[in-house]
Amino acid sequence: MKRIILALAASSILTAGAASAETLKVCAEGAYPPFSKTNEAGDLEGFDIDIANAICDEIGVTCELQATEWDGIIPALLEKKCDAIIASMSITEERKKAIDFSEKYYNTPARFVARSDADFTIDEDGLADMVVGVQRGSVHQDFMEKTFPEVELQLYGTQDEVYLDLQSGRLDAAIQDSIAADDGFLKTDAGDGFAFIGGNQNDPAIHGEGAGIGVRKEDVFLKYALSAAIAALRENGTYKEINDKYFEFDIY
Amino acid sequence: MRFELALQHWEVFASGVWMTLHLTALCLLIGGCIAIPVAFAMLRGGVSGWLATGYVYLFRGTPLLVQLYLVYYGLSQFDFIRETWFWRPPAYLRSACIEDLMGWKVCAADFIPSLRSAWWCALITFSLNSGAYVGEILRGALKNTPKGELEAATALGLTDKQVRRRIHIPSAFRRALPQYGNEVIFMMHGSAIMSVITLQDILGVGRWLRAKYYVPYEGIVASAILYLVITYLLVFAFQLIERRYLRHLNIKAPGAERGWFGRSAV
Amino acid sequence: MRRSASTEARDAASLVLWVCPVNRAARLIPALGVVAALILLLTFAVGDYQALLLKGAAVTVSLALCSLVLATTLGIAGAAAKIRGGRILRFIASIYTVIARGIPDIVMILLFYFGGQRLLNAATEAMGLGVFELSAFVAGTLAIGLIYGAYLAETFRGAWQGLPRGQIDAAKALGLPTVLAFRKVYLPQLIRAVLSGYSNVWQVLVKSTAVVSVIGLADLVGIADKIGKSTRDSFMLMTIVLLFYLTLTIISERGFGWLERRSDRWAS
């Protein structure tokens, strides 16, 4: 059964008009460590990138990764600049109106980060005079706009920019994925003096069911093939290998 | 095609227009104040002339985007800057507020430049940039003032100071008007990059719409239309001003079509 | 009145030397060497990223040159349409200038990158072809070329209309063939009249290339921005970028200034 789906997927990529039958064009990001970042040679690396390559291996195609600015990543998919988004994108109802998703490939909660000595609470009063940073077009922006509409929000193009302004003191707090914040910021030198504040923020209606691979709605076979590939990676241990390279526990 | 989204969110776009316009206007005002001494210094020469020329070269010779990055991300990386008033005004100024001034809350600290705020970073960078461009325009206009005009004034018994303030500067300002009009439009266009440092100007709102509804270009097209409209309103306004203040010049020279399109100066 | 072959040859040689001044360029080499050394020295300050930054600088320069070629082509076409075109051509040309000059460069680039892809997809689908991706480089070149083509159209048209009519009449009266008249009478004067406007446009165009980094192009600004944010040393990296652009604009200014003096002598 799996073989058939994979074969169908390969043909669906072909008809989707990718540059050639053997490549899958993948939109990734590049400023969201440890999931994706740009290394010294200018190449992409990180959890998302490793997963993308493993999935392409599983389907039997080559990944052609391209760094895409986050707030234009769904438009880029819709305009066929790429065929799939592997960029830690949460599967949400709002996004499902525009695109479709594979099954999740990881799921971690969102949390606020602030200075370790900050003494405000995460509620309407505690955040009243604070400036909070989020990545533009992320679920965290939706979360802030719906849960704390009165709080002053600053929108950034990348998560790295959020950390920079958090460190320099332009922001009082930031909300983002807890794992991304932990490994991409708190555990680095720059994150010295910062800590999580409050518990996990989880609103299923906004945060969705984890990060999935975004595809165009018409590419149904590709969607199934990607889900099947994720399941296969979980089964054959490749996922665990990649997971352990970055994290101390299973983030699935 | 979901252009109704832009109409639904017209209030957000209106706030973007306000952000673009008020910041551009302030930058031009401050830039103009910088430009006058810079232009005179360049003409006078000497050490101040060299400094002024260096300033003009630096800001005219490099992209505004790079200048903005340098101020916003470059300066904020230094601890010694973050420990001064220029990062954040002291608490007692932040708490010295008038709660309700025509519906706004205004604090003493709001008037002190603070590199912590993206708005001030944009204002500082754009003002310095505009100062350099306008300074160069003024220098050209001052230098090209017909000698006879100044000699006539001196012959009438005006002192050097009077000649400068009553004749030289007003005359140069008038002749600089067309180029200044271009500069105003370039500044307004240039200000569109403020969306890269989190400010929600016209383009920032367009990108916000794109990220919110995942529409590829509706937000950007709406921004483009707004810029187009504002540009030509400004062009029209400058044509009116020029008609008023440049009446005395022979503006219908052959081969030189009037209006913004007629100019080759960039 | 036959001109000797040797005069022809000398004319041709002087034209070649004028367009491509080998002997003069040789004098510029030490100066260019110093500038290159300075930039290299600065990029050494950021160690591992040196090769990447140099690659970015090459992208920036080629983006600027490609845009200039496109802008010049569009400028000539636009000027021709405005001078010689019928009502429809003139109308199209003025719509083009209105739009190209009314929209900021960054907005135009975003429009081309996303809107342009939509149009391209529609076209290729209609022809039954696959998807051709509009890369950031191509979108940037198109957007910048389009904007500055509109300015150049005005520059070219102004220069053409500023030509002294008497000389054209004189050339006709002398019975010079059109091609010869163009080459010998119009072109030198056109070049002289166009140069200062052309150099203005080039200077602004070079600075506009910085903005293409917002659609993810790995040009000098894009690369320096990424490195600066990950190493938390934007100050050093952006200073390098600043100096690079400054060098580029100062060299261009000197180069064009020299060309202008040169053409003044040649045309008078």
Picking from B73, B118, B211, the nearest residue to A71 by CB comes out as B211
What is the spatial distance between Cα C65 and Cα C219, in angstroms, rounded to a whole number? 13
A-contacting residues in C 161-220 (Cβ below 8 Å): 214-216, 218
The pLDDT score that the predictor gives to residue B57 is 93
- Chain A residues close to C215, C-beta within 8 Å: 69, 72
Task: Say if CB A23 and CB A63 are below 8 A apart.
Answer: yes
pLDDT exceeds 60 at position C1: no
Tell if the CB–CB gap between C48 and A40 is shorter than 8 Å: yes
Picking from B73, B217, B224, the nearest residue to C118 by CB comes out as B217
Tell if the CB–CB gap between A71 and B210 is shorter than 8 Å: yes
Q: Is C232 in the A-facing interface, judged by CB distances under 8 Å? A: yes
What is the spatial distance between Cα C216 and Cα B62, in angstroms, rounded to a whole number? 20
Per-residue pLDDT of chain A (252 residues; tens, 9 = 90+): 455 555 555 555 544 444 445 789 999 998 898 999 888 777 899 999 999 999 999 999 999 998 888 888 998 999 888 999 999 999 998 899 899 999 999 999 999 999 998 888 888 888 988 899 999 989 999 999 999 999 999 999 899 899 999 998 899 999 999 999 999 899 988 888 999 998 899 888 888 889 999 999 999 999 999 999 999 999 999 999 999 999 988 998
Per-residue pLDDT of chain B (266 residues; tens, 9 = 90+): 678 888 999 999 999 999 999 999 999 999 999 999 999 999 998 899 999 999 999 999 999 999 999 999 999 888 888 888 778 888 787 777 877 777 777 787 788 888 888 999 999 999 999 999 999 999 999 998 888 888 898 899 898 888 888 888 888 888 899 899 999 999 999 999 999 999 999 999 999 998 888 887 889 999 999 999 999 999 999 999 988 887 776 555 443 444 444 333 33
Q: Residue ranges of the alpha helices (H) in B70-117?
A: 79-82, 91-94
Nearest CA in chain B to A134: B198
Q: Please name the residues in contact with C68: beta carbons below 8 A apart, sequence gap of 6 or more.
A: C145, C148, C202, C205
As beta bridge partners, residue A180 has none
Q: What pLDDT, in 10s, does the model give residues B99-128?
A: 777 777 778 778 888 888 899 999 999 999
C-contacting residues in A 125-164 (Cβ below 8 Å): 158, 160-161, 164
Picking from C214, C215, C230, the nearest residue to A160 by CB comes out as C230
Token match 């029209």: residue?
B236
Q: Within 13 Å, how many C-alpha atoms sit on residue B22's CB side?
A: 11
Tell if the CB–CB gap between A17 and C48 is shorter than 8 Å: no
Q: Residue ranges of the alpha helices (H) in chain B?
A: 4-8, 10-44, 46-60, 64-69, 79-82, 91-94, 118-143, 147-155, 160-162, 169-190, 202-213, 218-245
Helix H or strand E segment including C43 = helix C22-44
Tell if the CB–CB gap between B221 and C115 is shorter than 8 Å: yes
Tell me the domain boundaries of chain B.
4-245
The pLDDT score that the predictor gives to residue B256 is 42
In this structure, what are the phi and psi dihedrals at residue A31, rounded to the nearest 5 degrees?
Answer: -140, 45
Q: What percent of chain C has pLDDT over 70?
A: 81
Topology of the domain covering C49-267: MetI-like fold (1.10.3720)
The pLDDT score that the predictor gives to residue C105 is 96
Nearest CA in chain B to C224: B66
Picking from C154, C204, C211, the nearest residue to B193 by CB comes out as C211
Work out the pLDDT band at C266, boundaries 50, 70, 90: low
- Mean pLDDT is lowest, of A125-134, C21-30, C90-99, C230-239, for C21-30
Q: Which CATH class is domain B4-245?
A: mainly alpha
The pLDDT score that the predictor gives to residue A43 is 86
Residue ranges and CATH numbers for the domains of chain A are 2-107+209-246 (3.40.190.10), 110-207 (3.40.190.10)
Q: What angle do CA C70, C76, C78 make, to 5 degrees?
A: 95
- Chain C residues close to A69, C-beta within 8 Å: 214-216
The pLDDT score that the predictor gives to residue B261 is 41
- Chain B residues close to C239, C-beta within 8 Å: 70, 74
Signed CA dihedral, B84, B88, B90, B96: sign only = positive
Distance set, CA B214 to CA A140, A225, C134 (Å)? 15, 24, 19
Token match 């919110």: residue?
B212
Burial group, residue B185, by CB count within 10 angstroms (0-12, 13-18, 19+): buried
What is the spatial distance between Cα A48 and Cα A64, in angstroms, rounded to a whole number? 13
Distance set, CA A131 to CA A112, A153, A248, C150, C257 (Å)? 12, 6, 32, 43, 50
Tell if the CB–CB gap between C52 and A41 is shorter than 8 Å: yes
Picking from A99, A157, A170, the nearest residue to B116 by CB comes out as A170
Q: Is A2 in the C-facing interface, judged by CB distances under 8 Å? A: no
The pLDDT score that the predictor gives to residue C167 is 77
Picking from B87, B208, B214, the nearest residue to A75 by CB comes out as B214
Tell if the CB–CB gap between A30 and C226 is shorter than 8 Å: yes
Task: Say if CB B205 and CB B223 are below 8 A apart.
Answer: yes
Neighbours of chain C (3+ CB pairs under 8 A): A, B
As beta bridge partners, residue A84 has A26
Q: What is the residue type of B176?
A: A
Nearest Cα residue to A143 out of A151, B210, B139, B198: A151
Q: How far is A230 from chain B (nearest CA, A)?
A: 26
What is the spatial distance between Cα C225 and Cα C221, in angstroms, rounded to a whole number? 6
Tell if the CB–CB gap between B76 and A165 is shorter than 8 Å: yes
Neighbours of B110 (CB within 10 A): 17
The pLDDT score that the predictor gives to residue B130 is 97
The pLDDT score that the predictor gives to residue C26 is 56
Q: What pLDDT, in 10s, does the model give residues C137-176?
A: 999 999 999 999 999 999 999 988 888 878 777 888 888 8
Neighbours of chain B (3+ CB pairs under 8 A): A, C
Tell if the CB–CB gap between B198 and A156 is shorter than 8 Å: yes
Q: How far is C97 from chain A (nearest CA, A)?
A: 28
